[in-house]
Structure 1
């Protein structure tokens, strides 16, 4: 096998596979190292709810045949209320989506090596020049990209990763059939063709739960929450499995529902600001840095955008007659990340962390506010618009803000 490429990418998730697609389309020699065996891919790494928006599919040329269900609305539930916003979406069959990205990248010329677990960076003079994988196997590249997610063996080996366990959110999802989606009760909305997110500490302390319609009477149903003790003050000693089972046992919409065999997905992501994103010859993309929408956990679009930013930066570094992959030159990726992938990250993290600290009755108030305010208030607040965020705050929130400030000082 060849041992030298223009770009070596560790990880064939959406970010890694999309980066390979873009670079191969530009004519670069690219190899992707993926932990899973080819005949099982992507069974072990099928970890996402697959909820995204048509803008992502259009921007990255994703075919409709990887979509389980197109949706028309986003629903937010609190313990005693709900809010409906017209917004189109798409719930992906995540395994089909990943398979498409890989196969399309291969057709464009990217090489894939499966059953290739990356272990550490190969360095010379303090700079990464290659990757060690599958024991003693080695491959070298002008640019190395870590797209392995939170494990981040290359980013950690280079001292680039800043992911902290206290900021880790864990999630579990089942696919169910026989779900009652038509509401039928005053506090529940009709969830046909909808993606629903529920804010309720009884089921997801320090996080949220969800129901994504996937067709007929089937849905993806899951919970996700931040593990650290500041948020878990609302929780019990249940595991993530216990919380999801508790929701299924107590929500009447699941009375006749049954789990689909083999359709269980586990995952994790970090809710925190990014640290270092790149260095000499190296970039970290996708969930290797916290490339996730902090408020609602949507990671596909963010991961794909980070992949494209990395591909643009690699092209910028490798195009000249004398390539320059220095930290200074490759930092174009950092600029693009902060501009295009996650602008206003600090403000967006503020509203996210504050919201998940709020008690359950504050969620009912939030939904009442959303109903009386301009329809764009929620989307603008999620973008980090400070004026929109202020509209959602009350004088009664001062104790909550004080608690939040003390937590930030401790951190």
Structure 2
């Protein structure tokens, strides 16, 4: 049996930040990941904001930046587009499209440099909580392994088992989990250089389609759907989209990624005795746009700081760890409540209504755009939005 102060399960961005900040706080930390290669396969469109990286003190590195983004093109069902250009407006929520396979390793290496130990191809299979800590059963390189930790941080993604093993209420209804499918493609004929495209309406029931450029004619092309709003799979919708959308009709896929994206906001329970959950496992995904890298990394930082403090205190109780829940709610969860309301409103719109809103946006003037600012403009241009969202602002 191995022993450690803190065991982090999952080496994505949230897990690596948790491991790094736990180690920086002086605790002994081990991070395990079920994959042979950290960062592969990717399961997102790979977009992050410059402001988010700056807040997290992560210095941009050309090795993991595929392209720099300075425009966002919003496309309604009939093709009406709203172009948001940072030359005209301040775009606070865009920045880079990453190479996640390099970026995730970069964060894991930072954790290692801070003092964390890392074990790959190590799958957690069960967990038992005792009086003095948690014992986790794992398979390491196909062989059984047992690790005892004073605190476990679950960063094992949207299908997290760690939270369930600890009896935290992390289950999601079908209407709160996007089913996503994405191609990395070559031969994409994009409208604008350095521009993300987001396509709304019945092309992706319950979600939207996206094109995230990765340089020249390469891009991540994907979509997310809600299973309770369509009888087709996300993959079937993706095939139809790339066949019909002008930018992708001549493109070819070189990689396929599929997975779930939790869009219900922050889970109500993030802690219990000896345990925290973070990242996608904790619902740290923006309900409106489905992005979760920066928010997950933010949660990971907080988890690491609180875990290290608890180790120093010698108190691993739920009561002592509750500060994590409170900080995450303040720094992540409160804003997600607004975005969840906005998502519910957008789901109520028909294709015709989306077209009308796009037209109204093009007739509006604004000098700053963030998700919150977009919603404020939406309230101005749509009477229906005023009724449903007006109280949020």
Structure 2, gaps ≥5 residues long: 389-393
Greater relative contact order (Cα 8 A, min sep 6): structure 1 or 2? 2
2 CA distance for matches of 1:52 and 1:226? 23
> Within the alignment, does 1:61 sit opposite 2:61 as a pair?
no
Cross-structure match for 1:13: 12
| Among 289, 304, 308, the residue aligned to 1:296 | 289
1 CA distance for matches of 2:335 and 2:184? 34
SS in structure 1 at match of 2:69? strand
What TM-score, normalized to structure 1? 0.84
Q: 1:119 to 1:76 in 2, by over 3 A?
A: same
| Among 183, 187, 200, the residue aligned to 1:178 | 187
Cross-structure match for 1:247: 241
Displacement of 1:337 in angstroms is 0.5
Displacement of 1:393 in angstroms is 4.1
Deviation sequence 1:280-306 (CA, Å, 0-9, x none): 111110011211111111110011011
> Within the alignment, does 1:73 sit opposite 2:71 as a pair?
yes
CA contact (8 A) 2:379 2:386 kept: no
SS in structure 2 at match of 1:117? strand
> Within the alignment, does 1:365 sit opposite 2:356 as a pair?
yes
SS in structure 2 at match of 1:319? helix
Displacement of 1:255 in angstroms is 2.7
Cross-structure match for 1:408: none
Cross-structure match for 2:322: 331
- 1:106-125 pair list within 5 angstroms: 106-125=112-131
Q: 1:293 to 1:375 in 2, by over 3 A?
A: farther
Deviation sequence 1:335-357 (CA, Å, 0-9, x none): 11011123233222111122123
Deviation sequence 1:80-135 (CA, Å, 0-9, x none): 2111222241000111111111122222221111221112222125x852322127
Deviation sequence 1:215-268 (CA, Å, 0-9, x none): 11111111112222xxx1xx4x432121111111112222321222xx222221
Structure 1, gaps ≥5 residues long: 182-189, 402-411
1 CA distance for matches of 2:73 and 2:293? 19
Cross-structure match for 2:154: 146
CA contact (8 A) 1:73 1:89 kept: no
Displacement of 1:136 in angstroms is 4.6
> Within the alignment, does 1:270 sit opposite 2:262 as a pair?
yes
Range that drifts further, 302-311 or 165-174: 165-174
Aligned residue-pair number: 372
Cross-structure match for 1:391: 380
2 CA distance for matches of 1:388 and 1:338? 26
2 CA distance for matches of 1:75 and 1:102? 33
Range that drifts further, 277-286 or 148-157: 148-157
CA contact (8 A) 1:191 1:213 kept: no
Cross-structure match for 1:313: 306
CA contact (8 A) 2:150 2:274 kept: yes
CA contact (8 A) 1:370 1:377 kept: no
- 1:345-364 pair list within 5 angstroms: 345-364=336-355
1 CA distance for matches of 2:184 and 2:26? 40
Q: 1:346 to 1:392 in 2, by over 3 A?
A: farther
Q: 1:20 to 1:84 in 2, by over 3 A?
A: same
SS in structure 2 at match of 1:175? strand
Range that drifts further, 157-166 or 285-294: 157-166
Over aligned residue pairs, what C-alpha RMSD do you find?
Answer: 2.2
Q: 1:101 to 1:370 in 2, by over 3 A?
A: same
1 CA distance for matches of 2:23 and 2:236? 44
